[in-house]
Amino acid sequence: MLKTLLARLRQGHRTVRWPEGSPTLPDRLRGRPTIDAARCPSGCRLCVESCPAEALARTDDGPPTCDLGRCLFCTECATACPHGAIRFAPEHRLATRRRQDLLLSPQEYPLARALEGRMRSLFGRSLKLRQVSAGGCNACEADVNVLTTVVFDLGRFGIQFVASPRHADGLLVTGPVPQNMRLALMKTWEAVPPPRVVIAVGACAISGGPYRDRPECSNGVEGLLPVDLYIPGCPPHPLTTLDGMLRLMGRLKEGR
């Protein structure tokens, strides 16, 4: 017992101090990409052709655009660009409320807004979620599960994963929703008492990811359920997911 207590004292405070302080992120984090239009020569399509998820598009008279809902954050585009126009910054804030806001443009990136009205009054202080792994590879699932550990401790914000959808305020969905999981997802959704929220985590849940347009998959949650929060990534960093949920609850101040 004494050895256990001494070890605990040596470990000190293990929970991250974010959002009170700046998050400590790894240098190799592949966060929100930036596109420098001034470095994109007209007619160059090397980045578009290198993207395995078809997340990049370009017209002849404009810079490339990136759909973060499809992006796998593989950095193939940055490697293929000889002009250094594309860079993946260590920026973890990626969640948005609307699908169209994931289309990266030169304008300011619109981070997720808080729920409105009655929804915010109900879920602003406590949010119980049923997590549904709809055919995921377990990468998004692992980085969601780690939020329950002492390092992130999402319970301190009033967020909790529950075993039964009947005890939940909404669903957190990962994976591209293959046909074999579609009925299970819909039944889980129907078991959640309204009003309810849906959070799509990862490229697969948002757009189908690398499985997009395959006949076995439903291209993610879009078109099946009304999504309230989109969290892009492959997989999203745990702080990206937590940041999005706190913004949805109105727990983060504007500009943070």
Higher confidence at residue 121 or residue 43? 121
pTM, two decimals, is 0.92
Q: What are the residue boundaries of the structural domains of the chain, listed by start?
A: 117-249
* End-to-end Cα distance, the chain: 42
Is the pLDDT assigned to residue 10 strictly greater than 80?
no
Beta-carbon contacts of residue 13 (< 8 Å; ≥ 6 apart): none
Q: The domain at 117-249 falls in which architecture?
A: 3-Layer(aba) Sandwich (3.40)
Query: What string of DSSP letters covers 193-204?
Result: PSS-EEEEESHH
* pLDDT single digits (tens) 123-164: 989 999 999 999 999 999 999 999 999 999 999 999 999 999
pLDDT at position 256, please? Answer: 66
Is the pLDDT assigned to residue 51 strictly greater than 70?
yes
